[in-house]
Amino acid sequence: MRVDDVRLDYRGTANPFGAGRAVVTYTLTNAGNARLLPSESVTVAGPGGVGTRTVVVTGAQEVLAGSTVRRTVGVDGVLPAFRLEAAVAVTGEAVGIGGGDLAADRATAAGAAVPWAALALVLVVVGGAVLVGLRDGRGRGVTTSATPAPTTPAPDAPAPDADGPDPR
């Protein structure tokens, strides 16, 4: 039993804090001469194993000797961690000749999972903050007064007489 051509596609959600769905597609090939009943599992994880989700494939049909089968498995609850990795593990058990594990294989693929909704939310919040800052900043310039400031006499000028101007 061989796993080939693993592909990972991420389908996000409109919820900026929500998880999406990873769709993993792969090919199983029975290169032997006996019918095999595969046991399959698909694991999807972000960098460093963040948000690991595993699905065990149930109800798989046997794969005839020399044939190839294409599988598509959906994995729900996957966080958009910018980069995801999918791992497909399969073990084939012989059917009709006494049973037993004959073959096992594992293959991986990587794909992008950009959190577009969260990035859009950040952009809206930052843009709103910039607009509010610009609007508030327009009225904060140097202000001028319409009434003239009071003047004080020069220190060596004579003081005005209370009775009127000096006749001299």
Per-residue pLDDT for 97 more than 80? no
Whole-number pLDDT of residue 145: 56
Which residue carries 């000749």 as its tokens?
97
Side-chain half-sphere exposure of 155, counting CA atoms within 13 A: 0
Query: Torsion angle of alpha carbons 134, 140, 144, 145, nearest 10°?
Result: 120
Whole-number pLDDT of residue 9: 94
Q: Give the model confidence (pLDDT) of 10-66 as tens digits.
A: 998 888 888 899 999 999 999 888 889 999 999 999 999 988 999 999 888 899 999
Between the CA of residue 81 and those of 26, 46, 48, 69, 128, what are the distances in Å?
A: 22, 5, 10, 30, 26
**How far, in Å, CA of 41 to CA of 106, rounded?**
10
**How far, in Å, CA of 104 to CA of 91, rounded?**
4
In DSSP terms, which residues pair with 55 in a beta bridge? Answer: 42
Per-residue pLDDT for 165 more than 70? no
pTM of the model: 0.68
Give the residue-averaged pLDDT of 116-125. Answer: 73
